[in-house]
Amino acid sequence: MKVVVLNRYFHPDESATSRMVSSLAFGLAGRGWEVHAVSSRQLLGAPEAALPPRDEFGGVTIHRIWTSRFGRRSIIGRVLDYSTYYVSALGWMLRHARRSDLLIVATDPPLLSVLAWFAAMFTGAIRVNWLHDLYPEVAAGMGIAIPRAGYRVLQWLRDRSLRSAAMNVAIGERMASYVESRRVRRELISVIHNWSHGDQIRPVAPVDNALRQQWGFCDKFVVGYSGNMGRGHDFSTILKAAQLLQGEKDVAFVFIGAGQQLASIEKQAKEMGLSNIALRPYQAPDRLSESLSVPDFHIVSLKPSLEAFMVPCKFYGVAAAGRPAIYIGDTTGEIPAILKAEDCGHAVPMGDVEGLAECILSLKGSPQHAARWAGNARNALERRFDCRLAVDRWVAVLGRLVAPKSLGFPQPVKAEE
């Protein structure tokens, strides 16, 4: 019995899906499972990287298959990188996957579950789809034009790959409900939220935070955004709130990370004459506690058109750092439901500049309120969203699939089990 995790990026890559997939693989290996990972030889931020074709790390055997290496500079290059990973991954599965092997199929590149479905028909491998996002819905939600016939064909193929899988793991309840609405039986859907490492990322007080001091925020109330600045996130509301608060000299905004919208954020900030905004690159993994603790609270955003099709995983790192979160997007969405249930943040609609500004000023003026939310965020991480708990849930799912009694329909695993 072996577990094979498929995702285009894997350790040492530091992108969001790579961190999740890698931590699951290492967690399963630590529980005694034989784990293999099938990834490309690229790094997200360095497509020219040529990682070794085979490696061992953390008890996981890493198979890095050949792909083109154009990176994210152009749509055509990205499509070629996707396509070559599809071809190489399909070839790898047909050559190496065996009956009763467990394939955990992530969603980078999109619709990888369709290729795994095809391969499993020949190899007899057991498929578990790990749904970080749902295509083609995500593409449509981002405004990418897809011909109606093509959209329906992609949906049909994706849905067939979900219905025929042994299990589909969604990262949120809204996503699970949508998958069920696509006529996937509920007993084939489990909900396991994304997570963070509470033992690796811990709250750092402002007075002890060397990075906060280095960046010149000692006497500031800092509003932060940390992570991927992609097309699915709203930054207009944040920038306009920063413009509205220019007169508050002790309020600063910091964007930490990179992504498709970074250049646009920098350009807009200059055009708007914003002197209260700082841009910083991703920080090394051993400085994440400091980096995530620089802001007094974080902003998490997702365009409402993408709700139920993806979940911003940056929230979980924010919670590990013991920081509140303000969510910009659908106020009834997945993350707002957590913020409300755990009393660790607030949600405002996209475009509600005044509402965001008022929330910032309210938190700045009420340290006790901010401290309560901060403590509740860390408590939520420890009770619900820590890596060790997530690995427990994954072990429960996989254990039922390989146990003799799993010849019947496996029961779904809820996020809180």
Q: Is the pLDDT of residue 406 over 60?
A: no
- Of residues 20, 112, 1, the one with CA closest to residue 65: 112
pTM higher than 0.85: yes
* 104: helix, strand or coil: strand
- Of residues 153, 110, 117, the one with CA closest to residue 131: 110
| 244-259: average pLDDT | 96
The residue type of 297 is F
* pLDDT tens profile 8-28: 999 999 888 999 999 999 999
| Domains in the chain: ranges and CATH | 3-195+386-407 (3.40.50.2000), 206-384 (3.40.50.2000)
| 235-260: average pLDDT | 96
Q: Is the pLDDT of residue 412 over 80?
A: no
Question: What pLDDT does residue 407 have?
Answer: 40
Residue 293's pLDDT band (boundaries 50, 70, 90)? very high
Residue with token string 């910083």? 280
Question: d(Cα 166, Cα 169) in Å, to the nearest integer?
Answer: 10
Q: Which of 140-144, 275-279, 373-377 has the lowest mean pLDDT?
A: 140-144
Q: Is the pLDDT of residue 415 over 80?
A: no
Residue 403's pLDDT band (boundaries 50, 70, 90)? confident
Q: Is the pLDDT of residue 405 over 80?
A: no
* Average pLDDT over all residues of the chain: 94
* pLDDT tens profile 190-215: 999 999 999 999 999 999 999 999 99
Q: Indicate the helix (H) or strand (E) that contains 106.
A: none
* pLDDT above 90: percentage of residues in the chain: 89
Question: What pLDDT does residue 414 have?
Answer: 52
* pLDDT tens profile 25-58: 999 999 999 999 999 999 988 888 989 999 999 9
Q: Is the pLDDT of residue 404 over 80?
A: no
CA 108, 164, 334, 373 torsion: positive or negative? negative
| 91-103: average pLDDT | 96
Question: What pLDDT does residue 35 have?
Answer: 98
* pLDDT tens profile 371-387: 999 999 999 999 999 99
> CB neighbours of 187 closer than 8 A, spacing ≥ 6?
409, 410, 411, 412
Q: Indicate the helix (H) or strand (E) that contains 192.
A: none
* pLDDT tens profile 302-313: 999 999 999 999
Residue with token string 């350009």? 267
Please confirm whether the linkage preceding 304 is cis (ω < 30° from 0).
no
Q: What angle do CA 225, 43, 88 make, to 5 degrees?
A: 130
Q: Indicate the helix (H) or strand (E) that contains 5.
A: strand 3-6
* Angle of helix 236-244 versus helix 262-271 axis, rounded to 10: 30
| 393-402: average pLDDT | 95
